[in-house]
Amino acid sequence: MLFEFSDEHGELRRTVRDFFEKESDENRVRELMSSEQGFDPTCWGRMAEELGIVGLIVSEEHGGAGLGMVELAIVAEEMGRVLLCAPYLSSAVLATSVLEFAADEAAQKEILPKLASGEAIATLAFSEAANPWDFSAIAMTAEPKGDAFQLSGEKTYVLDGQIANEIIVVARVDGSLALFRVADDASGLSREALPPFDPTRRIAALRFKNTPASRISSGDLCCQLECALDRAIIALAAEQLGGAQRVLETTIDFAKTRFQFGRPIGSFQVIKHGCADMLVEVEFARSAVYNAAFSGDEDPQSVAVAAQMAKSYCSDAYLDIANRSIQIHGGMGFTWEHSAHLYYKRAKASEILFGTASYHRERMAALLGFGAR
């Protein structure tokens, strides 16, 4: 692992950062998080057209940029930094990866170009309440009905499930995992927006009752789904890194300018050491994310471990940093008007999403065979 970023990587980061600093400043985030849709379709269109990042990892043959995990990590880090309210993780990362890795060619040709162009927004409905992040725990079974299938049951914690117009469902056929496409106006489909702990990312419960669905994959998809989820996990870890870095910066600025007892509070050793610990965490988180991203592009057989490491470490680090930031800001950090709580809520929800730090450690330890005699 050499962590060699190219000039193009630097350029991508600058472009994206400039864009989001304008289009996703704190006021905009607050507007969107209390809006019904939870994102700004105009901005989404510009992300697709002007920046070309909505189709970042869509392959070129399907109308995307065909870029890799390093570019994705850069973009996701910048999004995390500004708490972007948009269906990026759901549509442009997870659903896109699943379609790329696991869908039939016909479905890819039909759906992916629309995702890349921003014309459609997709979500992957896979989680079931009891054990939501483990594909092997999926119980929903598709019933054959003529040439197609019918789905019944519930998927929950579906990212942007309320606004997606391409609904991809994971369910079983003869015990094997398969992908199904469900029209957003299909009969028997009801969608309930769940009130989110983190209002900058929306989740929904999707209920199906004999809902018609077309199968868009062949064979058992377990491995492909895991690979796609690892990508989403890495992107989420990159978001966490961006958020953590941003919170550290805000907190340092505050500690330099807030005076108590005639001194900037950052001159108090306990505050200073707390900031030093946060710095270590951010730098480690950065190593974890970039390692996972470069592994994704250069060393595929180590991606799974690197992804678990990154999500595990970044979850703990971001949450710790967000918590410390509230504390250092004192009463102000506890107010609605300060941004500290927005990052805290994002940190907490991101820690839970796709599995907590200890869940990912357990998976990593299993992959590496710790203590297996």
268 exposure class (CB count in 10 Å sphere: 0-12, 13-18, 19+): middle
CB of 86 to its own copies, least distance (A): 40
Of residues 14, 109, 209, 273, which one binds another protein by CB under 8 A? 273
Q: How far apart are the first and last CA of the chain?
A: 29
Number of residues that bind its own copies (CB under 8 A): 4
Task: Closer to its own copies by CB, 148 or 365: give it.
Answer: 365
CB of 127 to its own copies, least distance (A): 24
Spatial distance between the Cα atoms of 200 and 350, rounded to a whole number of angstroms: 11
Cβ atoms 117, 190 nearer than 8 A:
no
Of residues 9, 114, 258, 268, which one binds its own copies by CB under 8 A? 268
139 sits near another protein (criterion: CB under 8 A): no
Cβ atoms 348, 325 nearer than 8 A:
no
359 sits near its own copies (criterion: CB under 8 A): no
**Hey, which residues between 298 and 337 contact its own copies (CB under 8 A)?**
none
130 sits near its own copies (criterion: CB under 8 A): no
122 exposure class (CB count in 10 Å sphere: 0-12, 13-18, 19+): buried
**Hey, which residues between 140 and 199 contact another protein (CB under 8 A)?**
157, 194-199
Cβ atoms 149, 142 nearer than 8 A:
yes
**Hey, which residues between 239 and 268 contact another protein (CB under 8 A)?**
252, 255-264, 266-268
Write out the two tokens for 8: 């193009």
191 by DSSP, 3-state: which?
A: strand
Which of its own copies, another protein, none sits in contact with 284, Cβ below 5 to 8 A by type? another protein
106 sits near its own copies (criterion: CB under 8 A): no
Of residues 2, 106, 270, 372, which one binds its own copies by CB under 8 A? 270
Spatial distance between the Cα atoms of 234 and 305, rounded to a whole number of angstroms: 11
Which long-range contacts (C-beta less than 8 Å, at least 24 apart) are formed by 5-12? 5/70, 9/70, 9/71, 9/74, 12/71, 12/74, 12/75
Task: Annotate each residue in 60-99 with x if it binds another protein (CB under 8 A) or - if it does not, as one string.
Answer: ----------------------------------------
CA dihedral 266, 78, 202, 240 (to 10 degrees): -50
Write out the two tokens for 129: 């309440």
- Angle, alpha carbons 106-110-112 (nearest 5°): 110
Of residues 2, 7, 36, 174, which one binds another protein by CB under 8 A? 2
Task: Annotate each residue in 271-290 with x if it binds its own copies (CB under 8 A) or - if it does not, as one string.
Answer: --x-----------------
Q: Which stretch binds its own copies (CB under 8 A): 18-26, 173-181, 264-272, 363-371?
A: 264-272
209 sits near its own copies (criterion: CB under 8 A): no
269 sits near its own copies (criterion: CB under 8 A): yes
- Number of Cβ within a 10 Å radius of residue 267: 14
42 sits near its own copies (criterion: CB under 8 A): no
Q: Which residues bind its own copies (CB under 8 A)?
A: 268-270, 273
